[in-house]
Amino acid sequence: MDRTQAILDQHLEASAVGVLDAFRRYGYLAADLDPMGRLLPETEPLAELAAGTETSPETAAARRWYCGSIGLEFMHIIDPARRRFLAERMEREPQAPDRRRLLELLVRGETFEQVIQQRYLGSKRFSIEGVTSLLPLLDGLLETAAEQDAEQAVLAMPHRGRLSVMAITVGRPAAELFAGFEDVDPKSILGSGDVKYHMGATGEHVAKNGRTVRLHLVSNPSHLEAVDSVAMGRARAKLDRVGDRTGKKVLGIVMHGDAAFAGQGVLAETLNMTELEAYRVGGTIQVVVNNLIGFTTEPKNFQSSRFATDIAKRLPIPIFHVNAEDPDAVARVARIACEYRYAFASDVVIDLIGYRRHGHSEVDDPTITQPTLYKKIAAFAPTWKNYARQLAASAGLPETEAEGMAAAYRAELYEAQKQAEELEKKPTLRTMPPYWSAFTGGPYKREYEVPTAVSAERLGVLAEGLTRAPEGFHVHEKIKKLLEQRLEMGRGTRPIDYGMAEALAFASLVTSGVPVRLSGQDCRRGTFNQRHSVLIDVENGRDHLPLAAMEPGQARFEVYDSLLSEAAVLGFEYGYSRDFPEALVMWEAQFGDFANGAQIILDQFVTAGEDKWGLLSGLVLLLPHGYEGQGPEHSSARIERYLQLAAEDNIQVCQPSTAGQYFHLLRRQALRRWRKPLIVFTPKSMLRHKDSSSSLAELSDGGFQNVVPDRRIQNARRILLCSGKIGHELLRERERRGDTQTAVVFLDQLYPFPARELEAIFAAHPDARDVVWVQEEPANMGALFFVQPRIERLLRRPIRSVKRSASGSPATGSATAHTLEQKTLITMAFGIG
Ligand SMILES: Cc1ncc(C[n+]2csc(CCOP(=O)(O)OP(=O)(O)O)c2C)c(N)n1
């Protein structure tokens, strides 16, 4: 150990603020990070703390370590072992990288971009030039991960450099990527598909140590950062598949633009997931591909901090800043960052700072908004040329060699371009994992239906398991009562409520090999005190999950209270469902209306994923819904939104009217091979209401009914069609009135629209003069706009409707006004005709 090493070790242990400590803390501010000189070194803190030591050897060493092309923020990490790990690596002489390999990657990246530029002038490609070092960075991460025995990497990234990453990192044949520019086979994707720089891709990285790391680049919408937690969910599912909770086998690498990283809230939500048991993946490598510009906007207008990455400082994780024009430093950061991730199962941020050679896209002229910067960039040589020059001077690698590499790759790309012109079918860029082969998407077919009933005897056994606590476990008095009641429900001596119906559905699934995963705010207990999936020992606070302790060899049951986020959590669960199609994966909103916090995930992934990318998901959304006088915010889960997004059988939109229907719906979703997102509007006050409870026979017989007919009324004069709680209120009113002429029919499935079942209803009531749609929601909301034309098409005549008046907000803030409105609705429904 040399003298400087001894000093630094001392400093790491001691609390005294010395020179080295000052550099460890503030060196990153004075580091040389921006090749275009926009981010000026901030020397104040160091000048103050290291005053008088400028000429000392310690200061010179510290400056070399912390103020070169790498700036590291790590002193905010509390764990000394982590700080020591990082200091030790930063203060060690770096190993020489494989410079030829770095050069080759840079040459390939920039040549690839240039060839597209020449051949497809005027097309957008969102060039990587200026931050081409992303390619050696990814290579370094994957090489290090392979040394740590990684088997797969999940990559997510926005537009910038995506095509280069697909070609050079993921290894897709260039012809496939050029096919996107040739727009091969447009007829096959009329009205569907996606642009080339959003597509997902699979490939592999064959590492120097002989290991192969499978790569999955996640399909991505334009909405920046929306993919972040989707990628994490995918990584978690892949880890769960192989039973790895350490995160070693699957590495997540998520790339970001700097403006997006600083600006988009979902990124902050996603970062907050990293240490949470529900969402942990052993650490994600967050790479900011930082060109210090966002479209035309400069950092001073998109971030209130020096670095875009400052948002990540809330976490105890290292943030590396590295100058993209120093490929050796980039390679070093890749190694340290990945080793750190593997040592501590922690997120790591790498802020790769370069520039953007062209406009935001190549059809955009940046000289209008950043004229002086772009003059400078135009005079600045491409990264590979600078690096080749440097290597010629320092490493004896002749510049002609780099030229040769470029020429050879260019020739290869010209050849690929010719192949692309000849392609007849649009290439898919990916191979689906084998676990998808048992499942299917596309239009609904009746042949997908499966039995969902469970024998009464079996339900009794499951109920016993569900209500059992371990020996010596102290169950809360109220819960003891609940468990007794649930046992009675399972034995058929008490009507089954939603909570028990759901528990029985889960129990029947996990004991037949189907894993169940649910996350959402407070969903372990349930917002409405209805689920109680976890028993808590009142003496010691210990947990017991009956559903996870049903039978030996059962499938996994997981239920998690989520962080207070909608977008990141829904994104995560969507991602999870993408890599675990055999499981029942669910997200529950606290109240259904909060789901609009995740609107991007709904619009861009859940409802459009199959159309854009051909990717399926069986994700379930549980959205509490119903007008109960709680005010504008807790009444409506916005049924209208989902129905507007429904087309091509892309989703299922259901509102089960009874506990039994809910049971069959959940089981149907898990057991059919048809994989489609399922939106379920779940009850609140009806959770325990006798009217929506079911008998044991309803679970042990039959299946989910898309339309629930009225079995008590024959050949009605009036048919009230509805969905959800209002139907039960209509039934009560009918009873009160002693009405024998009105049938109340529930549409428990709104989409795919149950036309066949409704036709049967109309045929059963041939004399029904009035067919009325009744809903609680205002005229501009709810299912009215969607069902009315469809019902009229079936009936070949207009129908009438009862609803609240059109309104800017879903419901009144007054409970009394609500009651009055509700009464009026019911009276009007029976007054028609
Ligand atoms: C949520 C969202 N808002 C706006 C846009 C439009 N948009 C596309 S790229 C871009 C700038 C992104 O800048 P940055 O994150 O720094 O990435 P860069 O393009 O510079 O690589 C904007 C505003 C978008 N794609 N997504």
pLDDT in tens, 152-190: 999 999 999 999 999 999 999 999 999 988 887 787 777
Which phi and psi (to 5°) does residue 583 adopt?
Answer: -95, 155
Q: How far is the CA of 364 from the centre of ligand 1 (A)?
A: 14
Q: Which residue's alpha carbon is nearest to atom 13 within ligand 1?
A: 294
How far is 257 from 104, CA to CA, in rounded Å? 24
pLDDT band at residue 16 under the 50/70/90 scheme: very low
How far is 833 from 829, CA to CA, in rounded Å? 9
Q: Does 258 have pLDDT greater than 50?
A: yes
How far is 327 from 225, CA to CA, in rounded Å? 26
The answer to whether the CB of 295 is under 6 A from ligand 1 is: yes
Instruction: Provide the 3-class DSSP secondary structure of residue 95.
Output: coil
Mean pLDDT rounded to a whole number for the chain: 95
pLDDT band at residue 3 under the 50/70/90 scheme: low
Check residue 4 and give its pLDDT.
Answer: 57
Q: What percent of the chain has pLDDT over 90?
A: 90
How far is 813 from 79, CA to CA, in rounded Å? 50
pTM, two decimals, is: 0.96
Report whether 282 contacts 248 (CB < 8 A).
yes
Q: How far is the CA of 227 from the centre of ligand 1 (A)?
A: 13
pLDDT in tens, 807-827: 999 999 999 999 999 999 999
Amino acid at 709: P
The mean per-residue pLDDT over the stretch 676-688 comes to 95
**Residue with tokens 């997931």, as numbered in its chain:** 273
Q: How far is the CA of 157 from the centre of ligand 1 (A)?
A: 12
Check residue 61 and give its pLDDT.
Answer: 94
Check residue 10 and give its pLDDT.
Answer: 54
pLDDT band at residue 191 under the 50/70/90 scheme: confident
Q: Does 133 have pLDDT greater than 90?
A: yes
Which phi and psi (to 5°) does residue 742 adopt?
Answer: -110, 125
The answer to whether the CB of 257 is under 6 A from ligand 1 is: yes
Which phi and psi (to 5°) does residue 192 adopt?
Answer: -140, -165
18-22, 32-36, 350-354, 544-548: least confident range: 18-22
Report whether 486 contacts 553 (CB < 8 A).
no
In angstroms and rounded to an integer, the radius of gyration of the C-alpha atoms of the chain is 31
| Count of residues in the chain | 833
Most confident range (mean pLDDT) of 55-64, 391-400, 689-698 is 689-698
Check residue 643 and give its pLDDT.
Answer: 98
Burial class (CB in 10 A: 0-12, 13-18, 19+), 584: buried
pLDDT in tens, 424-474: 888 889 999 999 999 999 999 999 999 999 999 999 999 999 999 999 999
Q: Which helix (H) or strand (E) holds 44?
A: helix 44-49
Q: What percent of the chain has pLDDT over 70?
A: 98
pLDDT band at residue 6 under the 50/70/90 scheme: low
Q: Does 1 have pLDDT greater than 50?
A: no
Q: How far is the CA of 756 from the centre of ligand 1 (A)?
A: 46
The answer to whether the CB of 67 is under 6 A from ligand 1 is: no
Check residue 53 and give its pLDDT.
Answer: 83
Give the chain's end-to-end CA distance (angstroms, integer).
96
Report whether 335 contacts 90 (CB < 8 A).
no
How far is 219 from 605, CA to CA, in rounded Å? 9
588's torsion region: left (phi>0), alpha (psi -120 to 50) or beta? beta
pLDDT in tens, 548-570: 999 999 999 999 999 999 999 99
The answer to whether the CB of 223 is under 6 A from ligand 1 is: yes
The mean per-residue pLDDT over the stretch 710-739 comes to 97
Candidates 63, 80, 57; CA nearest to 27 is 63
Say how many C-beta atoms besides its own lie within 10 A of residue 236's C-beta.
Answer: 29
How far is 664 from 656, CA to CA, in rounded Å? 9
Q: How far is the CA of 257 from the centre of ligand 1 (A)?
A: 7
Report whether 560 contacts 595 (CB < 8 A).
no
**Structure tokens given for 250:** 């699957």
Say how many C-beta atoms besides its own lie within 10 A of residue 811's C-beta.
Answer: 25
Q: Which helix (H) or strand (E) holds 637?
A: none
**Structure tokens given for 645:** 């997004």
How far is 259 from 196, CA to CA, in rounded Å? 22
DSSP state of 805: P
The answer to whether the CB of 222 is under 6 A from ligand 1 is: yes
Give the C-alpha distances (Å, rounded to integers) separating 66 from 9, 73, 220, 292, 330: 16, 10, 36, 21, 14
Report whether 483 contacts 467 (CB < 8 A).
yes
* CA angle at 41 for the pair 39 and 46, rounded to the nearest 5°: 150
The answer to whether the CB of 336 is under 6 A from ligand 1 is: no
Angle, helix 498-510 to helix 456-466, in steps of 10 degrees: 100
Q: Where are the alpha helices (DSSP H) in 127-257?
A: 134-147, 162-164, 174-182, 228-241
The answer to whether the CB of 357 is under 6 A from ligand 1 is: no
Check residue 121 and give its pLDDT.
Answer: 84
**Chain CA centroid to CA 107, Å:** 34
The answer to whether the CB of 354 is under 6 A from ligand 1 is: no
How far is 222 from 159, CA to CA, in rounded Å? 8
The answer to whether the CB of 160 is under 6 A from ligand 1 is: yes
Q: Where are the alpha helices (DSSP H) in 242-370?
A: 258-263, 265-271, 299-302, 327-344
Q: How far is the CA of 266 from the centre of ligand 1 (A)?
A: 14
pLDDT band at residue 14 under the 50/70/90 scheme: very low
Check residue 213 and give its pLDDT.
Answer: 98
Burial class (CB in 10 A: 0-12, 13-18, 19+), 451: exposed
Candidates 243, 332, 240, 230; CA nearest to 284 is 230
**Residue with tokens 């970062």, as numbered in its chain:** 271
pLDDT band at residue 13 under the 50/70/90 scheme: very low
Q: Does 695 have pLDDT greater than 80?
A: yes
Check residue 50 and give its pLDDT.
Answer: 80
Shortest-distance atom of ligand 1 to CA 160: 21
pLDDT in tens, 472-530: 999 999 999 999 999 999 999 999 999 999 999 999 999 999 999 999 999 999 999 99
**Structure tokens given for 626:** 């119903």
Q: How far is the CA of 577 from the centre of ligand 1 (A)?
A: 27
Report whether 70 contacts 31 (CB < 8 A).
yes
Q: Which helix (H) or strand (E) holds 285?
A: strand 284-290
The answer to whether the CB of 577 is under 6 A from ligand 1 is: no
Check residue 106 and give its pLDDT.
Answer: 98
How far is 316 from 449, CA to CA, in rounded Å? 49
Check residue 171 and give its pLDDT.
Answer: 97
pLDDT band at residue 192 under the 50/70/90 scheme: confident
The answer to whether the CB of 127 is under 6 A from ligand 1 is: no
Q: Does 591 have pLDDT greater than 70?
A: yes
The answer to whether the CB of 259 is under 6 A from ligand 1 is: yes
Q: Does 315 have pLDDT greater than 50?
A: yes
Check residue 767 and give its pLDDT.
Answer: 96
